[in-house]
Structure 1
């Protein structure tokens, strides 16, 4: 039985991304994401991977979530619910900021998450979400992301802005 990670590592369109020697696996998931999707028919085998770039601010750093989704995330007609896809984008983009330590231990808040739905994503099978840090300006972190189906087609894209929390001493 193939796992989402092994499936995408063998897919020609994304094998280079997932074979980078600096990729790290992060097994944590935020509590809201876990609770929202904790049903057995929602998702299985979620893996979050990330790679820090050489840029001191983290620009061009990448994060990936590979997972298998099921009927538990469908809205209607077996299509993944838009709210689930937006939540996945928030989980991925915010998770990347946190995994890289760009929040300096202060935590972050989602200021905006603009999501565009390009193609229906069936709520069955493997998907891969990919995020990249675009820019960091003082307390603002800009991230872009996309969700692809098993064939490599882009189904959803997002642009996110996170605000790093202020220190309680400042």
Structure 2
């Protein structure tokens, strides 16, 4: 797999060289949604040279002791200035959107449901996300009860500094009636 040049920095290389369970690199912007869960916000609107310039999704062994699985889901994101709220800083709403995305990806992986829904999410902003730049987003599940999954997520810089965190509850869709 070819890695985007924005990820050819020492901390990204080191991160990707250790304990990656599986990896996906979204390679193209989709101009037309492919199904009812197309996620056009990311696949069409944000995957541009000025917003999310490149992304790598991967799983690795869980780092947090409260994780209910042996793994966590991570995204490396190369961000351009198209996500700015203030010049050189990602918009707070974008930070929340990214945390909602990774917690939803993790909830879907836990439940196997195509599109679990966000019931609630609390975001704590700790430091600005500088743009352009690269950040690590990571998420793990802390509880699963029936159709409900509770998760925690973080956005960090290359030194592991916490930039934003979230606690979220996702609800799986009701099973289809036969």
Would you say same fold, with TM above 0.5?
yes
Counterpart pick for 1:24 among 22, 25, 43: 22
Corresponding position of 2:42: 33
Query: TM-score normalised to the size of structure 2?
Result: 0.77
Corresponding position of 2:51: 42
Query: TM-score normalised to the size of structure 1?
Result: 0.80
Q: Could you tell me how far 1:38 is from its partner in structure 2?
A: 3.1
CA contact (8 A) 1:103 1:165 kept: no
Q: Could you tell me how far 1:130 is from its partner in structure 2?
A: 0.9
Alignment of 1:90-101 (within 5 A): 90-98=100-108, 100=109
Corresponding position of 1:84: 94
Corresponding position of 1:127: 135
Q: Does 1:165 align with 2:173?
A: yes
Shift of the 143–18 alpha-carbon distance from structure 1 to 2, 3 Å rule, reads farther
C-alpha RMSD of the superposition: 2.7
CA contact (8 A) 1:65 1:128 kept: yes
Corresponding position of 2:7: 4
Looking at structure 2, the residues matched to 138 and 127 of structure 1 have their Cα atoms a distance apart, in angstroms, of: 33
Corresponding position of 2:126: 118
Name segments (4+ residues, structure 1) moved above 6 Å.
none
Q: Tell me the matched-pair count.
A: 160
Shift of the 111–45 alpha-carbon distance from structure 1 to 2, 3 Å rule, reads same
Cα deviations across residues 18-67 of structure 1 (Å, max 9, x unaligned)? 6115x1123468322223313311122201112477xxx95353010002
CA contact (8 A) 2:138 2:155 kept: yes
Q: Could you tell me how far 1:4 is from its partner in structure 2?
A: 2.5
Q: SS at 1:46's partner residue?
A: strand
